[in-house]
Structure 1
Amino acid sequence: MANKKHERRGLGRGLSALMSDVAIDTASHQAGSGRIRGEQLIPVEKITPNPDQPRRDFPKQDLDDLAASIREKGVIQPLIIRKYSTSSDTYEIVAGERRWRAAQLAQLHEVPVIIREYTNTEVLEIAIIENIQRADLNPVEEASGYQQLMDRFGHTQEKLATTLGKSRSHIANLMRLLQLPEEVLVFLRDGKLTSGHARALITTENPVELARLVVKNGLSVRETERLAKAPKVKPAKVKLLPVEKDADTKALEGDLTANLGMKVSVNHTSGKENGKLIINYKNLDQLDDLCRILTAMPLDGSK
């Protein structure tokens, strides 16, 4: 494996130097300026992923879309790789694992690469930065990346904040999320909870139960914060605060109520496309009228 003797020496050459390789002049390359200096073709089977890659999830649809683009235009931006060892002809990915995976789906036998010599510290730095800047790590992946830099290479939050262009509070708040139980972290990875939701759950006695309640009811961050401030109340008995409806929803309710002659409520699930339509009838005559209207209405909306 690459030389490890300088792993705890800080952030080394600095990210501006390291990222000059990753931030190659993609625009000019896409415009058809030819191969990038130092670029060469390497068989895909001689390349392996970086085991410390902070990104763990590669959505199939994203890879399929990228593979389709690669079939049509090829791999536009080369991978950055390093020698697996001085005596081996295999290589480890520094930046570009998504492109490597998609290239295999596109049945490419070779991919364009640029070979560099990096320490383990520099490889992890580049992997984190590339993902943060280009593919938006989920909060758990980003926090795990910072944790690795601190645990394995001795970096401080202050040093990371300065070098990575992040505020110290941003890094500290993300890393606090790792204190949550695994089930809550899964909700975060899947996008069912945001960082704001998760931060509100960190100090609660029952974060898993509250997280399930938040996901089930589509609660906002503010509602989650209110819920978290009542730790002695069992989640099943918590009375959820009504979500303020926007002007369009209220107008729609008014139109439906006027047309049907019955009170109509439209309860849209926050952040999703589903919800409930509730029609209140006062007596059986109104119920009969409603049934008549619904059964006479074509399902395709035609007249």
Structure 2
Amino acid sequence: MVKKRERTGLGRGLSALMADIEVPATATPVGDAAEADARGLRRIPIDRIRPNPEQPRRHFAETALAELSASIREKGVIQPLIVRPDPAEPQHYQIVAGERRWRAAQQAQLHELPVIIRDFDETELLEVAIIENVQRADLNAMEEALGYRQLIDRFGHTQDKVAQALGKSRSHIANMMRLLALPEEIQGFVRGGQLSAGHARALLTVDNPVTLARQAIANGWSVRDVEQKAKASGAKTKRTKTKPRVGDKDADTVALERDLTAAIGMVVNIDHQTSGEGRVSIRYKNLEALDQIIRLLSNG
């Protein structure tokens, strides 16, 4: 029986995967039987390289691709792709990291690309693809938040572990993941660049986030404007409530609500009484979300 390999930490670490290896200007094409150079670098025909079907990143800006293609046409591909042997097609390779470079190289009509071949299993393939994506500077806030969610949901990593591996603060991870609790229409505004992450965070506290988001876009409100409108909306809601509120929540309860909301992507409310009793409620939007709650509770 094959013993299952234990997973420790977060994947193999970015330093081991994304080494900054430059392609020599006089690099020689490498055939199937030829040896790679001392650094493991090879050159592979571009038509034998396939994208990762589980690639988390789905949107590649055409303008940015065109700019990268022009640079590649002039200077070549400086940073090699990370690939693995394609399990479904012999003599072909699957992209682990570098699909954007592969797409731009196709536009530049290159015939081969520099690659480093690594032997990843399916789990590592997806994990590394997610990590590479969330490290990119041009991700929109929703893509970044989904990347964190995938690392936590699919691989059981904690927010602390993800933050440590990616060199980010835990509060940044939690705050970005909170955006996943927003209505889909607002998430679409963020993906499309109509609203920033700052706008979206300000909308988390209001009862009518979609209405306020539409007004923000129509009127060109700044993040500060939205924060002020959200505060005024919250104050108005509080004044018109007829149901009495027993005390304000302490900072620990609020922080716990935010962590749980970020962890499961649904709004979690905790009503904790001074007697020690309380209630935890989760707001879901559809049956799929309800199924997710049931799976989480069933798995302990």
Task: Report the TM-score, using the length of structure 2 for normalisation.
Answer: 0.67
Task: Name the amino acid aligned to 1:24.
Answer: D
Is the contact made by 1:177 and 1:199 (CA closer than 8 Å) also made in structure 2?
yes
The DSSP-based 3-state class of the residue aligned with 2:71 is helix
Task: Name the amino acid aligned to 1:42.
Answer: I
What is residue 9 of structure 1 aligned with on the other side?
A: 7
The DSSP-based 3-state class of the residue aligned with 2:145 is helix
Shift in Å at residue 86 of structure 1?
7.5
**Cα deviation per residue 1:208-236 (whole Å; 9 max; x = unaligned)?**
111111111111212111212315879xx
RMSD across aligned positions (CA): 2.7
What is residue 200 of structure 2 aligned with on the other side?
A: 198
Q: For residues 115 and 170 of structure 1, what CA distance do their matches in structure 2 show?
A: 33
Structure 1 residue runs of 5 or longer lacking an equivalent are 235-303
The DSSP-based 3-state class of the residue aligned with 1:41 is strand
The DSSP-based 3-state class of the residue aligned with 1:70 is helix
User: Pairwise mapping of residues 214-293 of structure 1 onto structure 2 (< 5 A)?
Assistant: 214-229=216-231, 230=233
Shift in Å at residue 84 of structure 1?
2.2
Task: Name the amino acid aligned to 1:23.
Answer: A
1:155 aligns with 2:153: no
Q: For residues 82 and 25 of structure 1, what CA distance do their matches in structure 2 show?
A: 17
**Cα deviation per residue 1:28-72 (whole Å; 9 max; x = unaligned)?**
x47x58576322222223222223333222111111111112222
Question: Are residues 44 and 87 of structure 1, via their aligned partners in 2, closer, same or farther at CA, if it must alter by over 3 Å?
Answer: closer
Task: Report the TM-score, using the length of structure 1 for normalisation.
Answer: 0.66
Question: Are residues 129 and 151 of structure 1, via their aligned partners in 2, closer, same or farther at CA, if it must alter by over 3 Å?
Answer: closer
Structure 2 residue runs of 5 or longer lacking an equivalent are 29-36, 238-300
Q: Percent identity?
A: 58
Match of 1:122 among 116, 121, 124: 124
Is the contact made by 1:81 and 1:113 (CA closer than 8 Å) also made in structure 2?
yes
**Cα deviation per residue 1:203-261 (whole Å; 9 max; x = unaligned)?**
32221111111111111212111212315879xxxxxxxxxxxxxxxxxxxxxxxxxxx
Match of 1:110 among 109, 112, 119: 112
1:100 aligns with 2:132: no
Whose Rg is larger?
1
**Cα deviation per residue 1:145-186 (whole Å; 9 max; x = unaligned)?**
111111111111121112222111111111110111222112
Q: For residues 12 and 210 of structure 1, what CA distance do their matches in structure 2 show?
A: 39
What is residue 166 of structure 1 aligned with on the other side?
A: 168
